[in-house]
Amino acid sequence: MDDYEELIGANIRRLREASGLSQAALAKLMNERGWTKWSQPTVAAIEKGERSLKFAEAMTLVNTEIFDVPRVEELLRVPRVDIWWATMANLATSVDAVKGAVRDFWSAQLRAARASDELLAAGEEIPEPDEMWLAGCDIAEIIAELDIRLGWELSRGIHETALIEGPLRPHLRSDLGKRQDGTPADSAE
């Protein structure tokens, strides 16, 4: 059994039902057009994808107006709702990947903060932010861009806890928790 056979079978079932035909009625119409071996079990097997539809049979279904479709390619059309569901599944997978990547980034920032704390506790100096690769990684700006592009807040509770209230120190990201105008994010409007 082939995916195309299943798709064709599903489309034949959809078109048959839309035409108000039973499987037996469709078999009878095909018999009247010269396909004498068509029966109700034949239609059932085609609709399940268990039997291939011959091209000439497909042309008979379309060209003799048994089905109200303009071309035989219609039998290969993926229903729009199936495309929508596949797109939604892909979107969900992508959202999960973004969330995971952001959590990994926040975890790395927390580990960097702990390492900085250990340096300070040992009496060593922390490199200046402009000397660190992390200085160019503004996670708040990345999150804001995602919020704008996707129209929703990405794990906002985790963001606030891990980046603003967590063990991140001002020497790592002095601009965290501030708006673009420099005011604190939690200040009253």
DSSP string, 15-66: HHHHTT--HHHHHHHHHHTT-TT--HHHHHHHHHTSSPPPHHHHHHHHHTTS
Report the candidate in 21, 17, 18, 24 with the shortest Cα–Cα distance to residue 38. Answer: 24
List, for residues 24-64, the tens digit of each pLDDT value. Answer: 999 999 999 999 999 999 999 999 999 999 999 999 988 87
Helix (H/G/I), strand (E/B), else coil: 3: helix
More confident residue, 133 or 41: 41
Supply the mean pLDDT for the chain: 74
Report the candidate in 75, 67, 79, 63 with the shortest Cα–Cα distance to residue 18. Answer: 67
Considering only 41-55, 58-72, 79-93, 137-151, which range has the smallest mean pLDDT?
137-151
Q: Is residue 158 over pLDDT 90?
A: no
Write down the residue that tokens 């919020």 correspond to. 147
Task: Report the 10 Å Cβ neighbour count for 145.
Answer: 11
Q: Taking the complete model, does pTM exceed 0.85, yes or no?
A: no
